[in-house]
Structure 1
Amino acid sequence: IHVSLAKDEPDTNLKTLMKQEGAKKIRDAMKTYISTLKTEFTQGMILPTVNGEHMETTPQVAPKAEDRKTAASSSAATSQSKSVGVKIPTCKISLKDTFLTSPEELYRVFVTQEMVQAFTHAQAALEADKGGKFQLLDGSVTGEFVDLVPEKQLVMKWRFKSWPAGHFATITLNFTDKGGETEVCLEGKGVPASEEERTKQGWQRYYFEGIKQTFGYGARLF
């Protein structure tokens, strides 16, 4: 930086001041300007590194409030999905009972909405088809029909409302004609171990005993 006075200007100490202080301040200002210019110019450029590899310099942008909210929701959903389907101790159950009716009539009791409502004494909704949903006892029991073989077998995914979310047991009912009466064998897999007795009692009371009392399939007439 060169500082001088015009020939027609009187002699003054401004020249000395500019040489001592002004030049220093100008250099500092230029240094800051050049540093800022380099930073802005190199943003987004691919710069070489010591190992000969290349690294892209990308400016870090703070996430917007909406992005943070979306990320938080996604994280919560992931956490929730991990909590669903957690393995729990399960057991198998089995029951056997005899009904004084034909396999055809007894099978119909299990797949007809009006008859289900009659023996459970509560609202029910069901679709007696493969993949059809059902809901009994005002929503306390829900499930889905997996396989239906008229007069022979019913397979269903079945659960109490109080069971862990998303957990179903597999219930299989086999109907056997015993000549004037029908034997029903129930096999349940995947029942929560802590719910073993409650599940067995529920089937015995609300299904088997309820059907016998409602339709008279438990009493012999002489």
Structure 2
Amino acid sequence: MAKWGEGDPRWIVEERPDATNVNNWHWTEKNATNWSKERLTQLLSGIKIKKDQFECDIYKVDECFGEATVNNRKGKLIVFYEWRLVLIWTGIILDSDSELDHKGKITIPNLSEENDIDEIEITISIDESNDESETLKEFMYNVGRDVVRKKLALYIKELKEEYSKNLILPLKGEVNADGSPKVKQPASSAATETNLLNSINAVKVSDSPKSDVGCKLDVKSLTMTVEFNCTANDLYNTLTRDNMIALFSGAPAKVDATRGGAFWIYGGNIYGQFEELIPEKRIKQTWRLKNWPSGYFSEVTMDLEQNRCSTQLKLTQTGIPASEFDGMHANWHRYYWQSIIRKFGFGSTLADIL
């Protein structure tokens, strides 16, 4: 952990050619959502696919919902993107007597870094089914999907190249021949996409908060007890599985629920690592908000106790910066407990707050 007032070398700006983000220690982020929407629309519109007697045209992006960000943490590039896309296509069979123009959709329900490009689900549908349209649908399935995959691969490549520029900055001495700083390039596509959690695991905590190093930080502790109408197993899974956290938070989440494993939730606004995990009993974490002083973590312990018809959760958080205490108190309710209730219908009763 960075030591307060002791001249931690990560904070010595003179060691950097540009005197910013020392040793790439701070979490930096670029929002690529708007650029992505424009680029995906450009790449996936006006595509002509012709082979033998078949001629198809992907002429419109009908739906484009999602987000994309590129993050740097400790010199590690973390690329996140998640999109749902619906494309409109038309096609004809050139030697057909009818020369009908058939219309259908291409649906990509989950374009994300979780899947390799050849694993991304792409479905083909046709508006009106007949012999000709089904033949065209088969052509688009066998040929058209490969064309779409190449366009998606180009988007991913450009996203990483465009938004990694100046995000991971050079260390001292890493300069080009002309004196300008060298900029690290992102890892290969496969490595970046398949090892995202490994990158997040680089966010390690070497020490719990201490009051005897450097300048003293005024901290407070928070305790609250909440009762949920569910089993301890359901509540434990809700708090340790990334897909369930993403559901109740409405934001990207990456979670390695093992001792020493990292978690990265609410799109990176909260992150840390697991110190202790006892299924249905206890979750202990080093935990921080993105905007806290660099390297500073609090400790969060959630103890679960299942009763006859409900599960009681006791939260204890120590080492909260005093200036953040009131907001922390409110945000546990708003962004955790109330969100869980709304999404999963567990219901709750606030038993005690200290």
TM-score class, shorter-chain normalisation, is: 0.5 to 0.7
Pick closer, same or farther for the CA change 1:116–1:85 going to 2, 3 Å.
farther
User: Contact 1:129 / 1:148 at 8 angstroms: preserved in 2?
Assistant: yes
Give the TM-score normalised by the residue count of structure 1.
0.60
Counterpart position of 1:139: 268
After superposition, residues 1-222 of structure 1 pair within 5 angstroms as 73=15, 86-218=215-347
Provide the C-alpha distance between the structure 1 equivalents of 2:214 and 2:308, rounded to a whole number of angstroms.
44
User: Contact 2:263 / 2:273 at 8 angstroms: preserved in 1?
Assistant: yes
Provide the C-alpha distance between the structure 2 equivalents of 1:139 and 1:85, rounded to a whole number of angstroms.
28
Structure ranking higher in helix proportion: 1
**Could you report, residue by residue, the CA deviation over 1:82-125 in whole angstroms, capped at 9, with x for unpaired residues?**
xx975311110011111000101110111111000000000011
Give the TM-score normalised by the residue count of structure 2.
0.38
Query: CA offset at residue 73 of structure 1?
Result: 3.1
**Could you report, residue by residue, the CA deviation over 1:190-219 in whole angstroms, capped at 9, with x for unpaired residues?**
010111111121111111111111000017
**Could you report, residue by residue, the CA deviation over 1:45-86 in whole angstroms, capped at 9, with x for unpaired residues?**
xxxxxxxxxxxxxxxxxxxxxxxxxxx639x98xx9xxx975
Higher relative contact order (CA 8 A, sep 6+): 1
User: Contact 2:226 / 2:348 at 8 angstroms: preserved in 1?
Assistant: no
Provide the C-alpha distance between the structure 1 equivalents of 2:219 and 2:348, rounded to a whole number of angstroms.
35
Provide the C-alpha distance between the structure 2 equivalents of 1:85 and 1:200, rounded to a whole number of angstroms.
27
**What secondary structure is seen at the aligned counterpart in 2 of 1:144?**
strand
In percent, how many aligned pairs have the same letter? 31
User: Contact 2:260 / 2:275 at 8 angstroms: preserved in 1?
Assistant: yes
Paired residue type of 2:291: S
**Could you report, residue by residue, the CA deviation over 1:151-205 in whole angstroms, capped at 9, with x for unpaired residues?**
0000000011111111100000000112110010100110101111111211111
Pick closer, same or farther for the CA change 1:85–1:125 going to 2, 3 Å.
farther
Paired residue type of 2:299: T
Aligned residue pair count: 143
**What secondary structure is seen at the aligned counterpart in 2 of 1:151?**
coil
Provide the C-alpha distance between the structure 1 equivalents of 2:234 and 2:226, rounded to a whole number of angstroms.
15
Alignment RMSD (CA, Å): 2.3
Paired residue type of 2:346: Y
Task: List runs of 5+ in structure 1 lacking aligned partners.
Answer: 1-71
Pick closer, same or farther for the CA change 1:89–1:150 going to 2, 3 Å.
same
Provide the C-alpha distance between the structure 1 equivalents of 2:342 and 2:214, rounded to a whole number of angstroms.
38
Paired residue type of 1:116: I
Q: Runs of 4+ in structure 1 displaced over 4 angstroms?
A: none
Pick closer, same or farther for the CA change 1:85–1:176 going to 2, 3 Å.
farther
**What secondary structure is seen at the aligned counterpart in 1 of 2:224?**
strand
Paired residue type of 1:160: L
Provide the C-alpha distance between the structure 1 equivalents of 2:228 and 2:295, rounded to a whole number of angstroms.
33
